[in-house]
Chain A
Amino acid sequence: MTTNPLRVSWAGPAVAGALLLAALTPLPAAGAPVTIVAAGAAAHMEVICAKEALDYALAVSGWINAWRDYQNTLPGGTQQEILDSAARLDVATSRVGDTGLRLIACLLGASGGGPRPPA
């Protein structure tokens, strides 16, 4: 039982087939987003980060509205109106930061890159 595995009759076709398959396998396009719907860890990631992603998307929507409101108030608004819209923009900005950082922490933690807990 000292057969050299590289000299068996099927070794040549097997290696050639593997090389051919590797050459024909399409590579993902650079920059193409990867939707997290795949099996295994990726699907798990989508489940555990879905709430964070929705919170962030809603916060961004609110921020855009607050920003437009602030921009519209500046020319001709009373001092109180400007102060009120600035306060709303400040709250919306904080919400985007808070939800966005929670989402990033979730995604990076779910992909195994999270900080290690103290011993």
Chain B
Amino acid sequence: MKAFFFLLGATALVAACDRRAGPADAAARAVTGVVEVRLGEIAQRFGIRVDRTPAGFLPALQPLTGGGSGSVGPIGARLAALPFVRENDASSLDQPIAVETPAGTVTARFTYRTLGPWKVLDHAVLSVGGGSDADLRIALLDPRIER
């Protein structure tokens, strides 16, 4: 009898901790928002849409500032390679990563936050030598789920 209650309790605990996507989350198809790349006082913004496909998350960017040609340029092309959206069970990157180089220690900080069934990149910051006005900051502003 005791074993039965133990099993019942364990089952209830597992069910309570199960954070898989529910029916409402399953309808999520994409994440949209604005990506801002900032270096000191210089900033460039792109509109972004990341679609969930059977092959994974596929980002598409369009420039919002710095020219109306429609091309995202080399920076936009590099941005498209970044994982702005990840599965919710992806590994955590809460702690800063420091890489020693002959030109100083480069520190990277990544912050993801939960949005619907996924994690989205809130911001990424690169610093050299403890941080300064020359930090490179990537931020995903106003992310929204598209259903």
Q: Do most interface residues of chain B lie in helix, strand or loop, or is the interface mixed?
A: strand
A57 touching B106, Cβ below 8 Å: yes
B contacts with A, residue count (CB < 8 A): 43
Residues of A within 8 A of B44 (CB): 97
Q: How far is the CB of B65 from chain A (nearest CB, A)?
A: 14
A116 touching B56, Cβ below 8 Å: yes
Say whether B70 faces chain A, with CB atoms less than 8 Å apart. no
B134 touching A46, Cβ below 8 Å: no
Q: Evaluate whether A108 and B83 lie within 8 angstroms (CB atoms) in the complex, with A53-B99, A60-B134, A97-B136 already known.
A: yes
Please classify how large the interface on chain A is, using the bins under 10, 10 to 19, 20 to 34, 35 or more.
Answer: 35 or more
Say whether B75 faces chain A, with CB atoms less than 8 Å apart. yes
Instruction: Count A-B contacts at CB 8 Å.
Output: 125
Residues of A within 8 A of B97 (CB): 33-34, 36, 45, 107
Task: Produce 1/0 per residue, B85-126, CB < 8 A to A.
Answer: 010001101011111111110111010000000000000101
B96 touching A33, Cβ below 8 Å: yes
**Chain A residue with Cβ nearest B136:** A100
Considering the chains assembled together, what is the distance between the CA atoms of A109 and B57 in angstroms? 14
A-B contact pairs, 18 of them (CB 8 A): A32-B95, A36-B97, A36-B98, A53-B99, A56-B106, A56-B126, A57-B101, A57-B103, A60-B136, A61-B103, A64-B134, A67-B40, A94-B74, A102-B78, A109-B83, A111-B91, A113-B86, A116-B56
